[in-house]
Structure 1
Amino acid sequence: MNKKQRKKAHLIIHGASSAAAAIGGGMAQLPVSDSTALIPLQTAMIIALGKVFDKKLTEGAAKSLATQVVAQQAGKMTARFFAGKIPVAGNIINATTAAAITESYGWMIAREFSEEAEQALKKH
């Protein structure tokens, strides 16, 4: 990943993580999981990262990737859901976890897209 790509990825991922924190913190005491709001956010992040690395993704493919991370993190999200019922502390826990999951997932996707782009260049 070159400097320009890293900088763009940094802005996209941190922006999505900040939004995820706001969603997680804001939805802490609601009786629904915040994953319904996080999946579209993470889908948009994946599509934006794809553009940085010239990877064409359909919205369906990006949503599938975002849904996959939600499934992988189901245990953490369930614990966070119940901890989120605690006023103030729950908001902080939910916000921090949503941001951390989105941040780590964003960088994982960015590295994967970068490696795929480098391999494609080597083939040509």
Structure 2
Amino acid sequence: MNKIQRRKAHLIIHSAASAAAGVGAGMAQLPFPDATVLLPIQTAMVIALGKVFHIKLEEGAAKALATQFLAQKAGQMTARFLAGKLPVAGNIVNGSTAAAITESYGWMIAREFGEEYEKKVKV
């Protein structure tokens, strides 16, 4: 991953993580999981990262990537949802967890796309 790609990925990932934090904090006391709103944010992040590394993604593939990651984090999201029942503290926990998950997911995808891009460039 070159400097320009890293800068673009940084902006995309941090923007998505900030949006996820707002969603997580805002939805802490609602009776349904925030994953329904986080999925489109994370899907858009994956698609944008794909553009940075010249990787064409079908929206379905991006959703599959996001869905797979969310499925792995189901236990974490359940715990976060339960913690969300606590006023103020629950909002902070829920928002922080949503941001951290989105941030780590974004950098994981950026690293994979960067490696794929470098393979294409070297061939």
- Shorter-chain TM-score category? over 0.9
Query: Which AA in structure 2 matches 1:84?
Result: G
Cα distance in structure 2, aligned partners of 1:18 and 1:72 = 21
Query: Which AA in structure 2 matches 1:16?
Result: A
Cα distance in structure 2, aligned partners of 1:40 and 1:66 = 9
Q: Which residue of 2 aligns with 1:108?
A: 108
- Percent same amino acid among aligned pairs? 73
Task: Flag as ranges the 4+ runs of structure 1 deviating above 4 A.
Answer: none
Q: Which residue of 2 aligns with 1:78?
A: 78
Q: Which residue of 2 aligns with 1:13?
A: 13
How far 1:47 moved relative to its partner?
Answer: 0.1
How far 1:65 moved relative to its partner?
Answer: 0.5
Cα distance in structure 1, aligned partners of 2:104 and 2:96 = 12
Cα distance in structure 1, aligned partners of 2:12 and 2:122 = 26
Q: Which residue of 2 aligns with 1:99?
A: 99
How far 1:121 moved relative to its partner?
Answer: 1.5
Query: Which AA in structure 1 matches 2:7?
Result: K
Cα distance in structure 2, aligned partners of 1:12 and 1:61 = 19
Unaligned residue ranges in structure 2 (runs of 5+): none
Unaligned residue ranges in structure 1 (runs of 5+): none
- 1:1-124 equivalent positions in 2, closer than 5 A: 1-123=1-123
RMSD: 0.4
Cα distance in structure 1, aligned partners of 2:14 and 2:87 = 26
Cα deviations across residues 54-105 of structure 1 (Å, max 9, x unaligned)? 0000110001111111101111100000000100000000000000000000
TM-score relative to the length of structure 1: 0.98
